[in-house]
Structure 1
Amino acid sequence: MTRPRKAFLGAAVSAALMLVLSSCGGGSAGGKVADSIETMDPITLTYTSVSAEKSAGALNFEVFAKEVEEKTGGKIRFEQYFNGSLLPGDETLEGIGSGVADAGFVMPSYYPQKMALGNWIMDLGSMPSNDIPHGMLAGSAAIQELQNDSDVLKEWSGHNIKVLNISQPGVGNALLCTKPIDSVEAAKGTRVRSGGGVWNAEIEAMGMVSVQVPAPETYEALQRGVVDCITAAPSTLMGYGWWDVAKHFIPVSMSAFNSSAQVINLEVWNSLPPDAQAVITEAAHRWFVGVTQEVLQNYARFATEGPAKHGIVFHDPTPLDALLKQHQEKFIAAKVASPPPGLADPQGLVDKYRALLDKWMAKTTEALGTPPPPRDPAAITESYIKGGDLDLSRFLEITGKELFPLPPNTR
C-alpha cells in the first residue's frame, strides 16, 4: 500500500479539518500489522520540516531516509517537504499527531501550553556542560535519555507522537561582540541581541541589556551600533554572516537549546512490524550521532576560519561565567518551584537530568581518554578544533542500547 500524497494545507489549516483527516484514516497506516518487512505492504511516509531544503537538517534527514529505504528493500519510503511547505513550524505538532504528515521536526518552543513540560525542560539548558567536545556529547546523550522519563513520554504520546531522536544543537549560546568584553565592568550596559526566553535573563545577569532585533536585521544593527553583541551558537553566527562585523568571541556558559525533536506519528509507528521499527530506530540513532558530529564540525570551522579569515579573537569567559552560575542556580530553583501542570516531582526530574548528565560526562571522558579542557581562550579554541576531527564510532557504540533500544528479538 502506498499512502496518498497529502495536499498542502497552508498556515491557516483548521483543527477541524485535521480531525476529519485523522478520522478518515489520514493519521495511521491502518489495517492489520504485518509480521515482518517481507510481508508488509509498501508504504510512503510524509516528512515535514521548517528546515531549508539544502540545510544541514535536511541533508541529515536524507541520509536517514535513504538508509531506511535500502534496509527495508524499498518497503518504506519518505516523501519530503522542507521550508514549511506542508506544515509551518507552529502547526507540526498537531499536523503530525493527526496524520497530516507522518513524521517530522517539532520544536516544543512553538507550543508553550501544549508542550508545557518540553518547554520547562528546555529552560534547564544551563545544566549541560559548555565544554567541547565533552559537553556536546554528554549533553546530547543525556537529553535523549531523558525522553524515556514517564512524564516526558506521556506528554508526547498525548499528542499521538513518538520521538525518534532529540538534538542539542550546541553546548550553549555564546557572545560575539563588536568590542572586547573581558571583564564584568566591560560587560555592564552592553546591548545584546537576544533570541528571547531564558537568554534574556542570562544577559541581564551579566549586567548587559537584552535587545530584540529580528535575525535578518541584526547584521545592520551590529554595523550601526544598535547592538554591541549577539548571542547564538557558532553555526548561527557563521550562517548569518555576523562574524564579518563582530570580531570578539566570548564563549560564556549560557544555556543550550535542547528540545528539537524528530518524531513520528504514534499510530503509524505502531502499524509497523518490529523489524521495520528496528530499522528506523537504528537509522535514527545514526542520524542522532551524525547531527552531533556536524555540530562539532561547525565549532571546529568557527575556531579555524574565524581567527584566520575573519579576525575573530577568543576572550576569557570566566568572569562572566561566575555571574551566570549564580543566576542559573537561582533560575533552576525557581523552575522547580513553578512546575508545569501534571509534573508531581519537579525536583526529581531535575535530579534525574543532572544524574544523566554526570553519567554521560563520565562515559564520554572515559571514551575520549582526556578530561574536559580548561576554561581559557587558547584551550577552548584548541578543543573546538580537535572536536571537529573526532571519530564518533565509539560514541555510536556506547549510546546504542541505552538510548535507542530495539524491539525484542530484533537486535
Structure 2
Amino acid sequence: MKRKVGAVVVAVVAAVVLSGCVASPQGPARDEGLESIEPIVLTVSQLASETNTNSRAMSVWMDQVREKTNGKVDFDVHYNGTLIPAAESLSGLQAGVADIGFVAVFQNPEQFPLGDWNAKLDEVLVPRGYPEAALVGSAAGMVRSETGPARDELSKLGIEPLLSAVVTHQPTICTKPVSSLTDASGVLVRTGGQPWAGEGEALGMTNVTVPFTEVYEAMQRGVVECVNTGPVVFTSTGVMEVANNVSLIDSGFSSGAQMAFNKDSWDSLPLVVQQIMHDAKPAMYTEYLRATFEAFAEFIKMAEDLDYTFNDTTELDAKLASYRESLLEGVASAAPPGVDDADEYIAAYTKQLEGWTDVVTGVIDPVEGDAREQLLSGADAVDWDMYESAIAKSLAEIRPR
C-alpha cells in the first residue's frame, strides 16, 4: 500500500548528521540571471555506451538542464571511454580533460579512504531485498555523497558529486548448475571486484582475473565457469551464448561509483546554473534506477529465451547472509581518519537507511514470488513519480545557495 512520504523524507534529511551538519555547496558569490549568461558547453566523459543505465540517467539530466537554461548550457558527450579511459578516470577528471566524468572508489581505494569504508558499510548495512535495496541504498548514498565528510573527501580530490550510482543483485551465469555450496566449491568465477569477489570466496569459489573482452572465449575454454556482472553487460555482449545456467544469488550491494564534476568546472558555473543542475538530479536518479530495473527484466527474458536453467540459491543466499553479518565488526574497527567515533557514525547512517526504508515502503507494491519473478517485475512495482518526489524533497534541503 503506497502512502504519502513527505514528512518521512524531511525526517531523513534531518537525520543526516554524520558530520554534525549538512554542508552547503560553495558556488559563485554572484547572483546572475540566465539572460546575462554566455553559452556554456561542458565536456562529458562516459565509460559506458549511450544505452547504458548510467548514460540514460545522464541523458535525462542533460535534457532538463538544456531545457531549463533555455539552451544556454549544452554538453559534448564522449561515450565508451574514448575521451578518458577507465584506468585514468580519476586523474583525467582531476586534470580537467573533461568537465564531467566517471569516478569509482574501487578503482582508487587509497585515494578514497572514507569512500572505500562507506562502500564496505553499505555491503553489510543496506537492507536486502529487490527492488528495496537499490531504492534505499541509492537515496541514502545520494545524501551521503552530497553532505558532510564524504563530500569533503571529494572536494579535497578536486571533484564534485553528481550521480551516485549503486549496483545490487548482480546475476551470475555459469556453464554448469551452481545451486549449493558443494556445487560452488572450486568453481572458477569472474567478478567485477569487491564486494562480489569476497562473496565468491565465501561461497568456496575461486576468483579468476580475466578482462571482460576475453570472457566469451574464456568461458568456451573452461578458464571461467561463472561470470558475475550487471545485467546490461550480459545482454549487450553476447556472453550469454556460451552459458546455460543462471544463479540469481542475493549478491552484494556496491556503492562508490559515480558521475562527478571537475570541481573547478563546477565552481565556475553561475549559481543559477548550479541550482538548475541540482534541481534536475531527482529525475536523473529516478531514471538510473528505472533503467537498471528494466535491464534486469531484459536479462531474465533473454535467459528464458535461451532456455537457461534457473538454479535455486537458497543455500547460497543463507551463506552470504552469515558472511555479511560477520563483516560488520571488522569494518567498524577499521574506520579511516576523519571518523572520530565509528559507532556514532554507523548509528547515524543506520538511522538514515531506516528512514529511507520507510520512504521506499510507501512507494512500492511488494513483488511476490522468487528472485526471477521479482527481477522481471521490479520496474512495474515502483511508483516512480512518488520516488522522484521523495528524492526532490531530500535534495531541496541541500540546494546550492
TM-score (normalised: structure 2): 0.84
Alignment partner, residue 394 of structure 2: 402
Gap runs ≥5 in structure 1:
1-29
> 2:226 — aligned with what?
229
Report whether the alignment pairs 1:386 with 2:377: yes
C-alpha distance in 1 between matches for 2:180 and 2:396: 44
Distance 1:146 1:171 in 2: 18
The answer to whether the aligner puts 1:317 opposite 2:313 as a matched pair is: yes
Choose the corresponding residue for 2:49, options 34, 49, 52.
52
For each residue in 1:93-131, what CA deviation from the matched residue of structure 2 results, as whole angstroms up to 9, or x when unmatched?
344344332222212222222122222222334233442
**Alpha-carbon distance between aligned partners in 2 of 1:352 and 1:251, rounded to the nearest angstrom:** 32
Partner AA of 1:45 in structure 2:
L
Judging changes above 3 Å, is the alpha-carbon distance between structure 1 residues 287 and 160 closer, same or farther for their aligned structure 2 residues? same
Whether the aligned pair in 2 keeps the contact of 1:118 and 1:259 (CA below 8 Å) is: yes
Distance 2:107 2:396 in 1: 26
1:79-158 matches, within 5 Å, as 79-127=76-124, 128-158=126-156
Q: Which residue in 1 is equivalent to 2:163?
A: 165
Aligned letter for 2:113? A
Matched, 1:207 2:204: yes
User: How many residue pairs align between the two structures?
Assistant: 373
2:244 maps to a residue whose letter is K
Separation in 2 of the partners of 1:328 and 1:120? 15
For 1:36, give the aligned amino acid.
G
For residues 149 and 39 of structure 1, the distance between their equivalents in structure 2, rounded to whole angstroms, comes to 30
Q: Retained in 2: the 8 A contact 1:93–1:159?
A: no
Q: Could you tell me which amino acid in structure 1 is paired with residue 389 of structure 2?
A: E
Alignment counterpart, residue 273 of structure 1, candidates 270, 275, 278: 270
Deviations 1:29-76 (A, max 9, x none): x99834222222222222222223454433432332222122111221
CA distance in 1 between counterparts of 2:345 and 2:309 reads 39
Q: Let me know the Cα RMSD of the aligned residues.
A: 2.5
Could you say if the C-alpha distance between residues 92 and 200 of structure 1 is closer, same or farther in structure 2, counting changes exceeding 3 Å?
closer
Question: Aligned residue for 1:68?
Answer: 65
Q: 1:354 aligns with which of 346, 350, 368?
A: 350
The verdict on how the C-alpha distance between 1:218 and 1:96 changes in structure 2, with shifts beyond 3 A counting, is closer
Contact 1:177–1:248 (CA<8 Å) still a contact in 2? Answer: yes
- 1:360 Cα deviation from its structure 2 partner: 1.8
Q: Structure 1 stretch 277-286 or stretch 60-69: which is displaced more?
A: 60-69
**Aligned residues of 1:165 and 1:262 also touching (Cα < 8 A):** yes
When residues 396 and 248 of structure 1 are mapped into structure 2, their CA distance, relative to the original with a 3 A threshold, is same
Equivalent of 1:330 in 326, 330, 346: 326
What amino acid does structure 2 have at the position aligned with 1:158?
Answer: K
Q: Structure 2: which amino acid aligns with 1:380?
A: A
If asked which structure has higher relative contact order (CA below 8 Å, sep 6+), I would say 2
Unmatched runs of 5 consecutive residues or more in structure 2 = 1-26
Is 1:243 the equivalent of 2:246?
Answer: no
CA pair 225-90 structure 1, distance change in 2 beyond 3 A: closer
For residue 158 of structure 1, report the CA deviation from its aligned partner: 0.6
Q: Relative to structure 1, is the Cα distance of residues 177 and 91 closer, same or farther in structure 2, using a 3 angstrom cutoff?
A: closer
Distance 1:97 1:225, change over 3 A: closer
Q: How big is each residue's C-alpha offset from its partner over 1:128-158, in whole Å with a ceiling of 9 and x where there is no partner?
A: 3442222221121121122144110110111
